[in-house]
Amino acid sequence: MKASNVLVSQPFEKMEEGLGPLYPVVDDIALLKRLLAHGVRTVQLRVKDPNHPHLEAMVKDAVGYGELYNAQVFINDHWEKALSAGAYGIHLGQDDLKSADLNAIAKAGIRLGVSTRTAEELQLALSLNPSYLAIGHIFPTPTKQMPTPPQGIEQLKTHLRTVNGKVPTVAIGGIDLSVASDVWQSGVDAIAVVRAITQSEDLAATLHSFADILTEEARNELSTAL
């Protein structure tokens, strides 16, 4: 798919508070609410099963909790339900861009995040003027079957140079506390995490640990040391 095959009549809304630095991706409404209650500002609801019996209710609940906590909640893939529910944002993969009504999303003032895995996909996504770009997967991940190999941090840096600050960026894929600092040093605007949150036995402690890493002070200190 070339960029010329996807036309959007207007740019997507920007994110008032930026992206990050921490962007949890979850499939559980109770966990999503807990994250918002802990002060996380941006969260994504990713329910893989399009036939999930409670999908519509989950989308509505996620949108409602986002409004309640004045947070930025994105709905993954299920753009029609998200559009109907008045979602703050929608996140789409490359295949979803072919079928989603991007103009309807843009006209509704809903933010759009787009997944990218290659340089070509990155250029396509940039041409859409999205609200943010997701770059991944950075490390191996069992949470989703991927058609491309892990990109690693050096390739992430290359993609960030291509973006050149035009839109906010988030790194995703296999990121946990052990590698979060290395990814943060790339200059990415946010780090998306899945298992590090969904499998956490102490959510508050995990969020605190990420908060210690994902600060501009920590990034600047390590960059100076290097």
Per-residue pLDDT of the chain (226 residues; tens, 9 = 90+): 444 346 687 889 999 889 989 999 999 999 999 999 999 999 999 999 999 999 999 999 999 999 999 999 999 999 999 999 999 999 999 999 989 999 999 999 999 999 999 999 999 999 999 999 999 999 997 766 677 789 999 999 999 999 999 999 999 999 999 999 999 999 999 999 999 999 999 999 999 999 999 998 877 765 554 4
Residue 28 CB contacts under 8 Å (≥ 6 apart), including other chains: 198
What's the pTM value of the predicted model, to 2 decimals? 0.93
How many residues appear in the chain? Answer: 226
Q: What share of the chain is helix, strand, coil (3-state, %, to 5)?
A: 40, 15, 40
Backbone φ, ψ for residue 224 (5° rounding): -65, -40
Residue 219 confidence (pLDDT): 75
The Cα–Cα gap between 164 and 37 comes to 33
The Cα–Cα gap between 96 and 48 comes to 13
Q: Which residue has the tokens 């609940």?
A: 61
Query: Residues annotated in the binding site, as ranges?
Result: 44-48, 76-77, 96, 115, 141-144, 174
Q: Positive or negative, the Cα torsion across 33, 38, 41, 45?
A: negative
Query: Residues annotated in the binding site for Mg(2+), as ranges?
Result: 77, 96
The Cα–Cα gap between 198 and 189 comes to 22
Of 48, 1, 40, 3, nearest to 22 (Cα)?
40
Residue 226 confidence (pLDDT): 45
**32 sits in which H/E element:** helix 29-37
Tell me whether residue 34 is exposed, middle or buried, using C-beta atoms within 10 angstroms of its C-beta: 0 to 12, 13 to 18, 19 or more.
middle
Residue 29 confidence (pLDDT): 98
Q: Which residue has the tokens 């959007």?
A: 8
**Structural tokens at position 178:** 């052990």
